[in-house]
Amino acid sequence: MNFAAKMLRDDALLGKVIVVTGGGSGLGKAMTKYFLELGAQVAITSRDYEKLKETATALEAETGGTCLPVACDVRHYEEVENMLQQVLTAFGTVDVLLNNAAGNFISPTERLSANAFDTVIDIVLKGSKNCTLAFGKHWIDTKKPNATILNIVTTYAFTGSAYVVPSATAKAGVLAMTRSLAVEWAKYGIRSNAIAPGPFPTKGAWDRLLPGDLAEKFDLAKKVPLKRVGDHQELANLAAYLVSDFSAYINGEVVVIDGGEWLKGAGQFNLLESIPEALWDQLEAMIKAKKNR
C-alpha cells in the first residue's frame, strides 16, 4: 500500500489562502506543500525568516504555487497582528489558520525550570490563542464567510502523558479552545477542528527529543498496533480535507491519526519510565551539546 499517495483532487483548495504557523520545516512544511499542490496560496510563519524564505522558494519551485514567508513569533500578539496584515496585503484575504507551531521537552518535570515550562506553554497555548484571537476578530469584523481554524494537538492532550507535562498541559488547552470556539463562533461561519497525530517523526523535532541512539532504543512504532509510524503525506491528506469545503459539516472535532497507539496505551511517552537516572543525565548532556553547536 502506498501511504504517500495524495487524496484530494488537484483543485480542491483552489482560491483559498492558508496561514501555517511553524510552516518552515517538518510536518508544517509537508502540509504546506500539499496545500500548494491543491491550488491554495499559503503563508508560512516562524521566528527564523531565512529558513522560511528557503522553504518557500523550494516549495514554489516544486509546486508552481505561491508561498509567502512571514517572520512571526506567535508568543507576541503584536507580531501576530503584523503577520496577519502582511498576509492580507499580499493576498487580500485569508481563509484558514493552521496552528502548528510547537515546542517540547522530554524530561522529568522536576528537572524543568519554570522558564522551560513557560517556553512550551507560551509557544503552544499562548501562541495558538494569539493567532486564533487575531484571525477570529478579523473574520468576525469583516463578516468573512466559511473561515476555518485547524489546530495540531496530540493524543496526550486528552490522556495526559508523563515526561512531556508542559506540552500535554498546553495541548489540552488548545483542544479545549478548539471545542469551545467551535460552538461560540459557528454563528459567524467559523469552523474549528483539531488533528491529534501519533508518531510522525521529523528530522529536527525527533532529533531534539530523542538524540543519539535513544530514538532506536525507544522505538515508538512498537507501541502502535499497526507497527509503523505515520507518513507525512497521510497527515497532509487529513489536514487538506479538514480545511477544504468537503468537510464543511465537521466542526468541533479532534481527529486522531495514530494507528491505534493511544488505545493501546495512553501516554505517548509513558514508556520512558524505564529510563534510569544515569541515562537522564546522559540525555540532558546530549541535548545541551546539540543546542550549543
What amino acid positions are annotated as catalytic residues? 156
E strand intervals along the chain: 17-21, 41-46, 67-71, 96-99, 147-152, 190-197, 254-257
Residues in the chain: 293
Task: Quickly count: other Cβ atoms within 10 Å of residue 35's Cβ.
Answer: 31
The residue type of 266 is A
Residue 13 grid cell = 483548495
The residue type of 144 is K
SS3 191: strand
Residue 52 grid cell = 522560511
SS3 282: helix
**Contact in structure between 251 and 22 (CB atoms under 8 Å):** no
Backbone angles phi, psi at 206, to 5 degrees: -75, -30
Closest alpha carbon to 171 in 255, 114, 103, 256: 103
List Cβ neighbours of 38 (8 Å cut-off, separation of 6 or more): 8, 9, 10, 11, 12, 13, 14, 240, 244
Residue 280 grid cell = 537522564
Residue at grid coordinates 466559511: 146
Residue 29 grid cell = 512544511
